[in-house]
Each structure stands twice: as structure tokens, then as C-alpha cells.
Amino acid sequence: MNGFLPGSWRSVLPHIDELPADRSPRVTSGQGVQANLPMELVRQSISRKEYWPIPDEVADAYRKFRPTPLWRATGFERAIGARVPVYVKYEGGNISGSHKLNTALAQAYYYSRAGVKELVTGTGAGQWGTALAAACALFGLRCTVFMVGSSLSRKPYRGVLMRMLGAEVHASPSGLTAVGRDHDGSRGNSLSLAIGEAVEYAKATDGAAFSIGSGETYSILHQSVIGQEAQVQLAELDADVDAVVGCVGAGSNFGGIALPFHAEAVATGTPAPLLVAAESSTTPKLSRGVYAYDQTDATGTGPLEAMYTIGSDYVIPDSHSAGLRFHAAAKVVSAMRHAGQVEAMGIGQVEALEAGRLLTVHETVLPAPESGHALAAAAKLATGTAEGMRAERGVLVCASGHGYLDLAAYQQFLDGELSDVAPLPEALSAAVSGLDRVGELSTAGRRP
């Protein structure tokens, strides 16, 4: 594939304030979550070095599907009545069907060089599990995936694809772990539980390590290829945007498309575009959550991280936006939200799937429901209907994956069978009542 491929990942850490330090877990039971983390990934998480050369083996794998396309979505613009241009960056054209492969390949490379023999993970909608299975196959590692059971039942072919790639796939909660056997439906959300099962299973398995695809600082770094490519592609089109949008589960897709724009703005002393995180209205951590220290999975053995969260014990309503159903946002994204450098917008699944339908009809690209949230947010910005936010020159939106394995969701949407359940204020208050807050939301640097 011809075109620009970045030679390095670009870190945003040199261009933001220091992140709050992690805290020890409330409960300790053996090793922490990151006991087997390769040192290079540790360095990528804490160093303020800006550019990290992409290893040749990873770059060779990237060239099979990168650079990914970017185009002006004129049909989508007409359908929504846009006032400004909308540009779509599409990450769905690889074996995983999503942006997740960008970090999966990097992680499999570093773990294999560190002597790890098996990677274990939890996945919601299945894109991350598929990406890690593909990366493990390429770098000669075993792979075990715990997938949210309700999602696996709706998308069985995700499991088939992972097994084709050599992975073992288990519906979560499973009977393989104590955290899974103890689950009674009353604690935590299902993605947190799947991750908790993966953490426990990896700790108990010789030669295995837990791998996570979204919230960690190093995984967001690996996604910076998206934004760097987009900057070059927009320049080639002589296009100017003042808003960048991505959907947020934990934050890797949003971080990948948006944070290179922030880094470039700070480095060049120019105004940063509006960076908008589109999240599920059922999981509104950035728009309705609190900035506090919380756990990242259901085992409680990992460090407490400073994140925008609705509480790891909050039971998130089921929806077709499985990849967004994580209770907290990545600490990098959270810190930038706290500093007023990131805005947030909650989107319901019905609105998201309608935006996805419009892209399908008018741009002949079928996006995943998660990406529909970003498209719906981009539509609000482009039409001037976003509350408190406005784009004057153009909007860039990342469609983070395809929706070919999500057609059941679109069928229910077309049949009028879907609705949205937003959290009640008292439920959110109760879920975060025991958390230590980092501080009140800063207004410094926020747009009026």
C-alpha cells in the first residue's frame, strides 16, 4: 500500500502536565496486573520522550493495511445538512476490522522479545480480542481471550475468527476463574469482569502475560499513527479542520486520532482544534463521571489510576456499543479532560446507529456501532447543534471499525426495537461515593 506511514509513534506526554501517580490497590493478592509488562512498554508509559521509532517488524506488518483512507464525506454532509466539511478517517480495513490492530502488533512484538509465550486478554465487542489473536499468530504467541458473554452470543462469528487465528475463546463470566465463578450479576460491568478474568488467568498460567488494548498510555501511543497520517492526508487535500472527534471506550481510538493534533499545536505554538470524545450515554464517564482514583478491572489487584469514572462497581446497562462499555477513561485522556483540553459528548445507541446508517447509505461504508457515536457527535458539530461546542472550518472524525459483525444491532434499529437507558444521577452518585477524588474539574483553558 502506497502513501505516508509514520516512522515513529508520537507521544503527547511532553505536551501535557505530569500525570497523577498511580496508587496501590485496595486489595493485594499476589502480583499486580502489569507484573510481566516489557520494559519498553513501561518506558513508553512514563517517559516524556516525544518520538518512538516503530520497530521494523511492526512497520512491515503495518504496511499491509496502512496508511488507512481519509476522505471528505460529501454525501454524509448533504444528508445531515452540514455547515462545514466532514472528513472521515477509516480504520476498519484490516483483519480485526478496527484500529485495535495498531497496538496489538506492537504489544505482541514487545512481549515476544521479552520471552512471554502467551497473551491473555478481555474483550467487549471482540475487536480487541480479534486484533490480539491476529498479532499473536503473526509473532508466534498463544492467545487466550475472555469475551463478554452477551456480546459473544450476539456476535458468534467474532469467536469463530479468533479461533481461526489460533486463540482460545471463553465467554465471560466463565467457570475458569474465581472472579468469574463468584459473579452474581450485581457487581461491576461485564467488560471489567472479562478483564478481571483475564488478569487472574494470566497470573495463574506459566509463561503468560495479561495484555490490554485501550486504556494504557503505551497503547494510546501506538495509535498515534492514525492522527499523524490524518495530518498529512488533510494537508494533501488542502483541508483545514478545527474539530477532531473519536469515540471513547477507554480512549485508544480517540487518543490515536486526536492527541497528535494537540501535540502538534503545542509544539508549533498554534491553536489546538476542539478535541471531542464521543461516549455512550449509558457509560458517561467523561461527561457525567468524576475524576478519581479507581480500579481498572474486577479483581482489584491492579493499581488505582486517576481517571474519569462512573465507578467500577456500576452495573452498566446492556447495549450494542460493547466496545464503549468501560467504566472509566484512560488516565491520559482523563488528565487532558481535567485540564480543559478535551471535551466530551454522550450519544445514545439509537442516534449512533442512525449516524452509521447515514454513512452506509451515502458513503457506502458500514461503521461499527461504536464508530456511530463519533459520527453522531461529528454531525452535531458540523450542523452547529452541539451544545456549547462549535466547528467553524471543518470536522475530522475517526470511524474506528467496520460493522459487518454488528448487523444484528442494525436489524434491531431498523425494526425500532432499541432504546437507551441513561444512568440515574443517584445511581452514579452511589457508584462513586467511596472513591478518592483527584480534584474538581478545572475551567482553565476550556472553551467558552
Residue 119 phi, psi (nearest 5): -110, 140
Q: What pLDDT tens digit does each residue of the chain (448 aa) get?
A: 468 899 999 999 999 999 999 988 765 443 344 457 999 999 999 999 999 999 999 999 999 999 999 999 999 999 999 999 999 999 999 999 999 999 999 999 999 999 999 999 999 889 999 999 999 999 999 999 999 888 898 889 999 999 999 999 999 999 999 989 988 765 555 678 898 899 999 999 999 999 998 889 999 999 999 999 999 999 999 999 999 999 999 999 999 999 999 999 999 999 999 999 999 999 999 999 999 999 887 667 778 999 999 998 888 877 766 678 889 999 999 999 999 999 999 999 999 999 999 999 999 999 999 999 999 999 999 999 999 999 999 999 999 999 999 999 999 999 999 988 888 999 999 999 999 999 654 444 344 3
Reading the block at residue 152, the C-alpha cell is 459473544
pLDDT for 154: 85
pLDDT for 187: 54
pLDDT for 32: 40
Q: In one letter, which amino acid is 346? A: G
Contact of 311 with 284, CB cutoff 8 Å: no
| Burial label, 270 (beta-carbon count in 10 A; 0-12, 13-18, 19+) | exposed
For 283-293, write each residue's pLDDT tens digit. Answer: 999 999 999 99
Give residue for cell 519498553: 40
pLDDT for 25: 76
CA–CA gap between residue 290 and residue 338 (Å, rounded): 10
CA–CA gap between residue 112 and residue 375 (Å, rounded): 37
Give the domain ranges of the chain: 60-96+224-434
For 354-382, write each residue's pLDDT tens digit. Answer: 999 999 999 999 999 999 999 999 999 99
Residue 100 phi, psi (nearest 5): -60, -25
Supply the DSSP string of 145-172, one letter for each residue.
EEEEHHHHHH-HHHHHHHHHTT-EEEEE
Give the architecture-level CATH label for domain 60-96+224-434: 3-Layer(aba) Sandwich (3.40)
Looking at the DSSP assignment, which residues form a beta bridge with residue 436?
293
